[in-house]
């Protein structure tokens, strides 16, 4: 009997959900933690070495945390989100090569500045660009939200904004853009790793870096300034600097750029594979990210099913019997709002606004955002399945003396589910791929894993292909599972 098959699948799904959710409850607010946010694609100030974030900023804050008996937690996110994160209390401090500007001073407080830096222009070796004016009209890349971005926007034109500097440089290297405006230190790092590009010998702007702390935390600000002063005096600051820059301010420990022999395509592919996945165990980013993606998708699917089912039943009952007027109205609002806004925006609102000052696991936030989003679409899918069932079925049920509810449960809903299984499967496949935007809240999923590899190797091809292939394999497996379910339900007909 079909009912048994449903119950089996439901039990399996619920078991998985329980398993995943127990692993979700991670971050509890603890005393003695210092949360730093940064955009870890900015060498030598913050960058990934294996799975650790290191660099001048990272080491500096690590030392400050140690001296004040705090445990340091570093979160990597988009640069244009770090200041918001400090403002909303999601993080204690933002250290990300942030330039001191008057506008930013209005939003947060800055510590004493710790370095002077310049904005410089990077171009390809064969470029005829010599200065800002000769960039006009060409395609200029910047990192979103940085002072380089602001300079170009105010003085020249709308630049092309990238999530991180490495992606901008990668675009320059492949010829997609003509110039990149970036801070001098990371620019040096990028040039050292990429033959084919050079820095123009002129500073566009000179500026200072400082760390950002919420205006409502004066005691934290004082602690930072005090500790930094101590570190300057006892030479720790210099020691940290010396790990990454030589006495001329040029980056240290630059990997020797291999002379480009004329290797065949397969040899180059093998090299690329080694650099992208094997070296430094970079494949970890993909595997760990994959697990996060699966976890979020599975839980969100279940949540979406539950919400969607309830909403669909309320809406159908209201349409058919006129009951539940208030509930129906609420469902209507839910459907309109959720289907009328992009899921990325919903994700950001849930993270920064709804859970703004609460310390919750990012995985939980993602599950809620995608679950609530999916629920709206699932609701309409199920409702259309209910409406597609022949009205004679309900009439027959009622004419035998069965109540509306019993007829729905025993006759209509089972048929409705069978009707919409393809559409539901489709929705879940879409959901799986939609989760790829959770990098916006610095969640390291499969897509973000690929991004991190790209930002370390400047190679776009293999990381992207690997990420795409992984999604593809998952979708194909999911489709097969759904087909099996459909067939086992169809067994009863013909």
Beta carbon nearer to another protein, 399 or 487? 399
Beta carbon nearer to another protein, 2 or 89? 2
The one among 414, 433, 436, 479 contacting another protein by CB under 8 A: 414
Contact between 488 and another protein per CB under 8 A: no
Instruction: Give the whole-angstrom CA distance, residue 467 versus residue 463.
Output: 6
Cβ proximity of 38 and 74 under 8 Å: yes
What count of residues does the chain have? 494
Q: Encoding tokens for residue 489?
A: 């339900």
Contact between 410 and another protein per CB under 8 A: yes
Write each residue from 360 to 399 as x if it is in contact with another protein (CB under 8 A), else as -, in one continuous string: ------------------------------x-xx-xxxxx
Contact between 4 and another protein per CB under 8 A: no
Beta carbon nearer to another protein, 106 or 494? 494
Instruction: Give the whole-angstrom CA distance, residue 258 versus residue 334.
Output: 57
Contact between 401 and another protein per CB under 8 A: yes
Q: Shortest distance, CB of residue 2 to another protein, whole angstroms?
A: 6
The one among 1, 233, 256, 259 contacting another protein by CB under 8 A: 1
The one among 102, 103, 133, 493 contacting another protein by CB under 8 A: 493
By CB under 8 A, which span of 87-95, 96-104, 125-133, 400-408 interacts with another protein?
A: 400-408
Q: Shortest distance, CB of residue 19 to another protein, whole angstroms?
A: 31
The one among 21, 205, 294, 411 contacting another protein by CB under 8 A: 411
Q: Shortest distance, CB of residue 408 to another protein, whole angstroms?
A: 12
Contact between 492 and another protein per CB under 8 A: yes
By CB under 8 A, which span of 298-306, 346-354, 405-413, 468-476 interacts with another protein?
A: 405-413
Q: Shortest distance, CB of residue 306 to another protein, whole angstroms?
A: 22
Q: Shortest distance, CB of residue 309 to another protein, whole angstroms?
A: 17
The one among 49, 406, 480, 488 contacting another protein by CB under 8 A: 406
The one among 418, 420, 445, 447 contacting another protein by CB under 8 A: 418
Beta carbon nearer to another protein, 2 or 196? 2
By CB under 8 A, which span of 132-140, 254-262, 410-418, 431-439 interacts with another protein?
A: 410-418
Beta carbon nearer to another protein, 232 or 490? 490
- Per-residue H/E/C for the chain: CHHHHHHHHHHHHHHHHHHHHHCCCCCCCCCCEEEEEECCEECCCEEEECCEEECHHHHHHHHHHHHCCCEEEEEECCHHHHHHHHHCCCCCEECCCCECCHHHHHHCEECCCCEEEEEEEEEECCCCCCCHHHHCCCCEEEECCCHHHHHHHHHCCCCEEECCHHHHHHHHHCCCCCEEEEEHHHHHHHHHHCCCEEECCCCCEEEEECCEECCCCHHHHHHHHHHHHHHHHCCHHHHHHHHHECCCCCECCCCCCCCCCCCCHHHHHHHHHHHHHHHHHCHHHHHHHHHHHHHHHHHHHHHHHHHHHHHHHHHHHHHHHCCCHHHHHHHHHHHHHHHHCCHHHHHHHHHHHHCCCCCCCHHHHHHHHHHHHHHHHHHHHHHHHHHHCCHHHHHHHHHCCCCHHHHHHHHHHHHHHHHHHHHHHHHHHHHHHHHHHHHHHCCCCHHHHHHHHHHHHCCCHHHHHHHHHHHHHHHHHHHHHHHHHHHHHHCCCC
Q: Shortest distance, CB of residue 6 to another protein, whole angstroms?
A: 11
Beta carbon nearer to another protein, 383 or 418? 418
Write each residue from 242 to 281 as x if it is in contact with another protein (CB under 8 A), else as -, in one continuous string: ----------------------------------------
Strand bridging mode 71-76 / 33-38: parallel
Beta carbon nearer to another protein, 342 or 422? 422
Give how far Cα 315 sits from Cα of 301, 310, 320, Å.
21, 9, 9
Count residues near another protein (CB under 8 A).
23
Give how far Cα 472 sits from Cα of 133, 430, 433, 444, 469, Å.
46, 12, 9, 19, 5
Contact between 415 and another protein per CB under 8 A: yes
The sign one gets for the Cα dihedral 180, 181, 182, 187 is: positive
Beta carbon nearer to another protein, 2 or 425? 2
Q: Shortest distance, CB of residue 333 to another protein, whole angstroms?
A: 28
The one among 49, 157, 174, 403 contacting another protein by CB under 8 A: 403
Q: Shortest distance, CB of residue 5 to another protein, whole angstroms?
A: 12
Give the bridge partners for 34, in sequence order: 72
Beta carbon nearer to another protein, 393 or 480? 393
The one among 2, 196, 356, 425 contacting another protein by CB under 8 A: 2
By CB under 8 A, which span of 55-63, 64-72, 401-409, 420-428 interacts with another protein?
A: 401-409
Q: Encoding tokens for residue 325?
A: 């007027």
Closest CA to 187 of 141, 129, 121: 121
By CB under 8 A, which span of 15-23, 62-70, 298-306, 414-422 interacts with another protein?
A: 414-422
Residues forming contacts to another protein in the complex (CB under 8 A) are: 1-2, 390, 392-393, 395-403, 406, 410-411, 414-415, 418, 492-494
């Amino acid at each position: 009997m079909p009912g048994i098959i449903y119950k089996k699948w439901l039990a399996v799904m619920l078991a998985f959900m329980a398993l995943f959710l127990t692993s979700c409850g991670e971050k509890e607010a603890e005393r003695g933690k210092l949360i730093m946010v940064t955009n870890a694609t900015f060498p030598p100030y913050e960058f990934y070495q294996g799975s650790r974030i290191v660099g001048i900023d990272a080491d500096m804050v690590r030392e400050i945390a140690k001296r004040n008996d705090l445990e340091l937690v570093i979160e990597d996110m988009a640069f244009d989100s770090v200041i918001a994160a400090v403002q909303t209390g999601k993080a204690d401090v933002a250290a990300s090569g942030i330039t001191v500007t008057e506008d930013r001073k209005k939003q947060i407080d800055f510590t004493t500045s710790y370095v002077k830096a310049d904005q410089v222009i990077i171009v390809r070796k064969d470029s005829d660009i010599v200065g800002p004016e000769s960039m006009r009209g060409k395609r200029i890349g910047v990192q979103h939200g940085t002072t380089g971005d602001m300079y170009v926007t105010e003085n020249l034109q709308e630049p092309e904004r990238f999530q991180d500097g490495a992606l901008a440089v990668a675009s320059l290297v492949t010829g997609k853009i003509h110039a990149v405006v970036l801070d001098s230190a990371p620019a040096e790092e990028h040039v050292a790793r990429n033959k084919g590009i050079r820095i123009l010998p002129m500073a566009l702007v000179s500026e200072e870096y400082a760390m950002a702390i919420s205006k409502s935390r004066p005691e934290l600000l004082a602690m930072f300034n005090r500790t930094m002063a101590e570190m300057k005096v006892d030479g720790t600051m210099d020691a940290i600097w010396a790990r990454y820059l030589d006495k001329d301010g040029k980056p240290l420990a630059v990997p020797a750029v291999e002379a480009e022999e004329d290797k065949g395509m397969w040899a180059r592919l093998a090299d690329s594979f080694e650099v992208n996945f094997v070296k430094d165990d970079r494949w970890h980013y993909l595997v760990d990210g994959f697990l996060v993606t699966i976890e979020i998708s599975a839980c969100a699917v279940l949540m979406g099913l539950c919400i969607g089912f309830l909403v669909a039943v309320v809406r159908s009952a209201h349409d058919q019997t006129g009951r539940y007027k208030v509930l129906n109205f609420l469902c209507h609002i839910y459907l309109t709002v959720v289907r009328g806004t992009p899921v990325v925006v919903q994700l950001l609102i849930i993270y920064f606004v709804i859970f703004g000052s609460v310390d919750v696991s990012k995985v939980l936030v993602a599950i809620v955002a995608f679950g609530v989003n999916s629920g709206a679409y699932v609701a309409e899918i199920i409702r259309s399945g209910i409406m597609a069932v022949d009205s004679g079925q309900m009439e027959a049920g009622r004419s035998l003396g069965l109540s509306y509810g019993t007829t729905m449960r025993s006759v209509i809903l089972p048929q409705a589910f069978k009707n919409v299984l393809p559409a539901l499967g489709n929705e879940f496949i879409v959901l799986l791929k939609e989760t790829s935007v959770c990098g916006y809240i610095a969640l390291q999923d499969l897509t973000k894993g690929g991004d991190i590899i790209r930002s370390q190797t400047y190679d776009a091809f293999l990381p992207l292909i690997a990420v795409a292939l992984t999604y593809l394999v998952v979708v194909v497996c999911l489709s097969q599972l759904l087909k099996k379910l459909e067939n086992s339900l169809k067994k009863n007909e013909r």
